[in-house]
Structure 1
Amino acid sequence: MNETNAGGVRRRSVEVVVPVHNEAHVLTDSVGTLHAHLEESFPFPFRITIADNASTDGTWRVAASLTESLPHVHAVRLAAKGRGRALKDVWSESTADVVAYMDVDLSTGLEGFLPLVAPLLSGHSDLAIGSRLHRQSAVVRGPKREFVSRSYNLLLKLGLAARFSDAQCGFKAVRADVFRALAPHIEDTAWFFDTELLVLAQRNRLRIHEVPVDWVDDPDSRVDIVRTALDDLRGVRRMLRATVTGRTRVTDVSRRTSTPQVPAARESLEVPPTGAHASSRSEHLEYAS
């Protein structure tokens, strides 16, 4: 992607991924809401990619329909389940400068998206996370999920010396070049993917930016808390061993620039015609703002 502003400077872009599994019933409303928000208020070139990981309902049919009706929406279909697998696949092939993701339920307020990605676009930070545990966050959720979240993050601080506050919030972004360097070292393909990415970033002295978020618990969430917690414990043990043996060190990771670029002001770009956007993966990605 080589879009430039009036001064001839290439504009930086964002690809936001929405990983889904059997979410046909909410996909149209959620992606429509996200698309409208970004079109109206996001000042950078963007694209939305629906990553359908092995859905067995009508999710792919809905995703394909959305690529026809919304100009900045694309879709990818994966044969195997796993949120981490979906993110790794799409992010690794992205031609955007910054890659991000959010959960399809849009539990996190979209007003936090620009503050999330802006430090990455400017070159100030390498990875950014939304934190529900930030003192300025406004969170609505039940006591059970609150307890599990805080306990898990305490475990990360005690076991892995984590300096980030909320590993599980489904609202993250990373510089694409940084992710490509870290990706071969990420083993998990499910929910521990986020934690593994953050631990690797911290171990390699990358700058992690946190933003407070407004977050409302989704009562329809089908995450198996017990199973996920057990998988996370196994992941923490594996990362602890990797840290002790030095396997978390990534020698070719690209750190933030010493002279960050100032993001260009918003400009109108030529929007590609709608049509056959849904595919296994496009060779050339078109973005629009």
Structure 2
Amino acid sequence: MPEIEVSAVLPVYNDRAALEVAIPRSLETLEAIAPGGFELIVAEDGSTDGSTEFVREYETGDPRVHLMHSDERLGRGRALNRAFAGAKGSIVCYYDVDLATDIQHLPELVGAIREGYDIATGSRLLPESDITRSGGREIASRGYNLLVRTVLGSSLHDHQCGFKGFRRDRLLALLPTVTADHWFWDTEVLVRAQKSGYRIQEFPVRWRQGPGTTVRRKDVIEMGSAVMRLWWHLHVEKG
């Protein structure tokens, strides 16, 4: 059996319909990038819509697909930590199961790590990015990322795009310092990586907003609170 070079992770919570598209498209794309030398991990986080059973059935027919199921809801960050710890590839990546970021960018993501970057991340906020989303989400995203750049000193433009790749050994060395267990995981990983001198490549992507995604006032408050908590950890507690 060939050595696994690339481990791709799909974080999943009640995404049964999206999985029907995401798994076969992922396998097709990964086969072109790393023929035979990859695995597709579905980090399924306490779903109740049949996602578990769907992936388990797929897994029995294709040994490259691995279900990593949790009975309890872990949150996005904890589910990703668990998946990356159990991955076999020297390159690990993840992307959202709705394929909001065009999967055609996956060769570029993996290629950046092969070229020597520690982290690669897609960006919806570079001038060359091609995105379609509602005005409310666009304003919230730009405001949030400006806050991260200003308060936390990040040089990146988009911290929350669900399309990231890592050198696994470098990521695992960083994760013990990361405290976020849900959506803020993405931002905290990128901010702490920059402060630790990691080489990061940010590149423009084609991105389309999925159905049913809205920004609530509560979300905006939580975003701001998470940024200020990390600032406190970094500058007051020296975390």
Using the size of structure 2 for normalisation, the TM-score is 0.92
Alignment match of 2:102 (pick from 102, 109, 112)? 109
Q: Which residue of 1 aligns with 2:146?
A: 154
After alignment, is 43-52 or 154-163 more displaced?
A: 43-52
Report deviation, 1:225: 4.3
Q: Which residue of 2 aligns with 1:235?
A: 226
After alignment, is 238-247 or 15-24 more displaced?
A: 238-247
2:42·2:67 contact (CA, 8 Å) conserved in 1? Answer: yes
Aligned length: 237
Report deviation, 1:224: 5.6
Residues 158-185 of structure 1, C-alpha deviations (whole Å, 9 max, x = no match): 1111111101110001111111111111
Q: How does 1:78-89 map to 2 (within 5 A)?
A: 78=70, 79-89=72-82
Amino acid at match of 1:175: R
Q: Give the 3 Å change call, closer, same or farther, for CA 61–227 of structure 1 in structure 2.
A: farther
Amino acid at match of 1:214: R
Q: Give the 3 Å change call, closer, same or farther, for CA 48–2 of structure 1 in structure 2.
A: closer
Alignment match of 2:111 (pick from 110, 118, 122)? 118
Amino acid at match of 1:99: V
After alignment, is 197-206 or 29-38 more displaced?
A: 29-38
Give the Cα separation in 2 of the matches to 1:224 and 1:51.
25
Give the Cα separation in 1 of the matches to 2:148 and 2:131.
21
Partner of 1:205, secondary structure, is: coil
Amino acid at match of 1:160: L
Give the Cα separation in 2 of the matches to 1:47 and 1:230.
37
Provide the aligned C-alpha RMSD in A: 1.8
Structure 2 unaligned runs (5+)?
none
1:92·1:179 contact (CA, 8 Å) conserved in 2? Answer: no
Identity, % of aligned pairs? 34
Q: Does 1:91 align with 2:84?
A: yes
Give the Cα separation in 1 of the matches to 2:42 and 2:142.
30
Q: Does 1:100 align with 2:93?
A: yes
Residues 92-149 of structure 1, C-alpha deviations (whole Å, 9 max, x = no match): 2222111110001001111111111212123x21111000111111111111111111
Q: How does 1:123-142 map to 2 (within 5 A)?
A: 124-142=116-134
Using the size of structure 1 for normalisation, the TM-score is 0.77
Give the Cα separation in 2 of the matches to 1:143 and 1:216.
13
Give the Cα separation in 2 of the matches to 1:228 and 1:67.
35
Alignment match of 2:165 (pick from 173, 178, 199)? 173
Partner of 1:169, secondary structure, is: coil
Amino acid at match of 1:235: A
Give the Cα separation in 1 of the matches to 2:29 and 2:12.
20
Give the Cα separation in 2 of the matches to 1:81 and 1:31.
22
Give the Cα separation in 1 of the matches to 2:85 and 2:218.
27
Structure 1 unaligned runs (5+)?
4-11, 249-289
Instruction: Say which structure is richer in helix.
Output: 2
- By relative contact order (CA 8 Å, sep 6+), the higher-ranking structure is 1
Give the Cα separation in 2 of the matches to 1:51 and 1:226.
29
Q: Give the 3 Å change call, closer, same or farther, for CA 246–119 of structure 1 in structure 2.
A: farther
Give the Cα separation in 2 of the matches to 1:2 and 1:225.
47
Structure 1 residue ranges, 4+ long, deviating more than 6 angstroms after superposition: none
Q: Which residue of 2 aligns with 1:264?
A: none
Higher alpha-carbon Rg: 1
Amino acid at match of 1:72: R
Give the Cα separation in 1 of the matches to 2:218 and 2:62.
36
Q: Which residue of 2 aligns with 1:253?
A: none
Q: Which residue of 2 aligns with 1:259?
A: none
